[in-house]
Structures are given as C-alpha cells and as structure tokens.
Amino acid sequence: MMPRENPEESPERDLTDVSLREEREEADREMIAHRFATEKHADAVVEQARETADAVLVAAREKVDKTVDAAATRSVQAAIAEDRDVEDATLCDERALADETLRHEREARASLRTRLLPHERDATDQYLLTERARSDDALATRDDFLGMVAHDLRDLLNGIVVSSQLLAQKLEKHSDSERLLLETTRIERYGARMNRLIGDLVDVASIDAGKLAMQTGEGDVASLVLEAVEVLQITASAKGVSLAVQDVREPFLAEFDHDRLLQVLANLIANSIKFTPKGGNICVHCKRVGESLEFCVDDTGEGIPAAMLEAVFERFWQVGKNDRRGLGLGLYISRCIVEAHGGHIRAESSPGQGTRMYFTLPVSANHNP
C-alpha cells in the first residue's frame, strides 16, 4: 500500500487507495488461481502422455513375447525379464528426475514473481505519489489564484453596489429619477448575481480540495427557514410567485452550520422561483421524521423528468443545453453541504406537476421534538 506523505488526504484519495488495494488483492488471487490451473493442466497432459507411452510399451513387449519361441531356454527368458526391469527402473528414475526438475523450475519462477512484483508495485506507487504531489501543487496554485481573484472581484463588486446605492439615494429627486433608479437597481442585481457565481466557484474549489468550511453550532431550525423565505420573498413577489412557510413556527433546536444550511435553503427556493411561472406557488416546510429533520421546498413549476431526478445534483447540471440561468452548481453544492451534515438530499417530480426538493438533517434524541 502506498505511504501517505500528505496528512490531509481527501476522501476521494482514500477511496482510490482502498480500490487499488482491493484490485491488487484480487489480482494476486487471480494470478495464483491461474498458475495453479495452468500447472494442473500441464500435469494432466504429462500424466496422459506417460500413460499412453506405458500402454505402447506394454503392447510392444507383448508383441515381442509372441515372437519368442515358447521353447526358448529359461536363461533367455530370464535375460529378457532382467533387461525389462532395468528399463523400467531407468524410466522411473528419469520421470522422477523430470518431476523434481519441473518442481524446482516452478518454485524458481514463483520466487522470481514474488521478488519482482513488489518492485513493480513500488514503482507504480512512487509514480502515483509524484503525480499526486504535482496535482497538489497545481491545486494549491489554482486555489491561491482563485482566492485572490475572488477577493479582488468581490471588492470591485462591493464598490459597484455601494456606488449604485449612493446614486439611488442622490437621484431620488432627479427629474428622470425613475429611469435612473431602475438602472441602479439593475446594477445591484447584476452585482449580487456575480457575487453568487463567485461564491459557487469558490465553494466547488473547496469541495474538490476536501476543505469545505463548516462551523456547526446549536441553532433554531424554524428561524432558519423563516430567514431563508424572508430573504427571497422580494424575488418571488417580483416574479408574481407566492412563497410561504407551512407549519414552521415553533422553535426547534439542532446542531448545524447556520450559514451553510441557509445557503442550501436559499439555493432550493431560488431554484423553485426560477422554474415556477407567474401565478405559481412555493411552500417551504420542515418536520421531524425519526432521528432526522426533513426539509421540503415544494413548488408548482415545470417539473423534472424522472430520468433526471438524480442528475440534478451533479455539478454543471442544466435543464437544457441552451439554459444559461446560472452555472448549474447550486444543487451540487447543496448536496455536498447536506452530506457534510450527515444528511441526504433528493428530488421528487413529474413534468408539468411541480417539484419537491427534500433534504434531511440528523438530530440527537436530546433535542426537543
């Protein structure tokens, strides 16, 4: 098995190492079984050849015996018998020597394989470690670059948003204030969208590196749901979509990362708003199911084909090839966040009949029901 040089191995690499070890163990078993089968077949062929040779020899001797005059002297018969005994003994010795030589050759080949195989695997492991080191360096460089770019872009975006807000305040009494306010609002909206895209890219890079930041603590799930709905209420209203909370009023304490679960709920609700037509409805609710909390975002939108219900949680998934509403990372990031909490996420839908997005959050027995 490969030595570990990086103390922060990712789960994917752990799975790769386990898979490699299992494949090698299976290869060892197959190689041993193949060798035994080959040797067994070879032994059977040799044994069959010897039996055939013995039968030919017996037939030849019987033929000779018939040609010998029955009145031959006993001394002649004794001489023939003695010669045959010598022949049989010599043949037996030669066969035993051949068997011993073959056994030594097989042992030597097996020993050679035993010595060479570890060297070959060590070379493979060293090559893999070298490639992993190169990959780590490349990822570190990429992450550093991405971090700097994201930081600089966010600074610029914040400047754009702040400037647009200041413009909006100063232009309220302008003669063409309605038009100018519309443009400043558009700037703010575009800036917010760019900020979300940057955040998604940073999260994906963190997930790939196995370093998705999580800070769990005790919090109120009901307040979290209400906060997520409040954040997106304006967006839903602007599109003419009803967004409501159902049966989420009483406080419910649980252990979770507030910002990350808020991100999940916001992603699911925003996704529902995106694909729910004007006049549609979105309902968010949460209930306890066994040892977990089950969240649901239920909409009356376009729906998702059954064949795509699992694919929607893969990265860069889009409804169609020409869909450009986002990068297709929101549901993938949501899945990773939910799984990091020990939960599961799934979708239920039928085309034209809306979609229900569920995810669970494990809760301990000592938390209030």
| pLDDT tens readout for residues 173-201 | 666 667 677 777 777 777 777 777 777 77
Q: What span, in angstroms and rounded, lies between the C-alpha atoms of 111 and 118? A: 12
On whether both 161 and 270 belong to a single domain, the answer is no
Q: Residues 156, 265: one domain? A: no
Q: Does any domain span residue 354?
A: yes
Q: Confirm whether 308 is domain-assigned.
A: yes
In a domain, 61, yes or no: yes
Average of per-residue pLDDT values in the chain:
81
CB atoms within 10 A of CB 362: 15
Residue 126 lies in a domain: no
pLDDT surpasses 50 at 126 = yes
Please report whether residue 83 resides in a domain: no
Domain identity same for 338 and 221? yes
Report the alpha-carbon distance of residue 268 to residue 192 in Å, rounded.
Answer: 17
Do residue 201 and residue 304 come from a single domain?
A: no
Residue 355 parent element (H or E): strand 355-362
Residue with tokens 């493979």: 124
Domain CATH number, residue 302: 3.30.565.10
Look up the domain containing 194 and give its range.
144-208
According to the model, what pLDDT value does residue 88 have?
A: 87
**More confident position, 197 or 342:** 342
The verdict on 266 and 301 lying in the same domain is yes
CA-CA distance, 180 to 261, in Å (whole number)? Answer: 36
Mark whether 254 and 357 lie in a shared domain. yes
Answer whether residue 223 is part of any domain: yes
Task: For residues 202 and 242, state if they share a domain.
Answer: no
Predicted pLDDT at 365? 55
Same domain for 24 and 53: yes
Flag whether 196 is in a domain. Answer: yes
The pLDDT tens digits for 65-118 are 777 665 567 777 788 888 888 888 998 989 899 889 988 888 888 888 888 888
Q: What percent of the chain has pLDDT over 90?
A: 24
Query: Residue 234: pLDDT above 70?
Result: yes
Q: pLDDT tens, 261-311?
A: 999 999 999 999 999 999 999 999 998 888 899 999 999 998 888 888 888
Same domain, 182 and 236: no
Q: Say whether both 303 and 266 belong to one domain.
A: yes
pTM of the predicted structure, to 2 decimals: 0.55
How many independent structural domains does the chain possess? 3
Confidence of residue 236 (pLDDT cuts 50, 70, 90): very high
Residue 135 belongs to some domain of the structure: no
| Domain final position from 47, 65, 83 | 65
Q: Quick one: pLDDT at residue 140?
A: 72
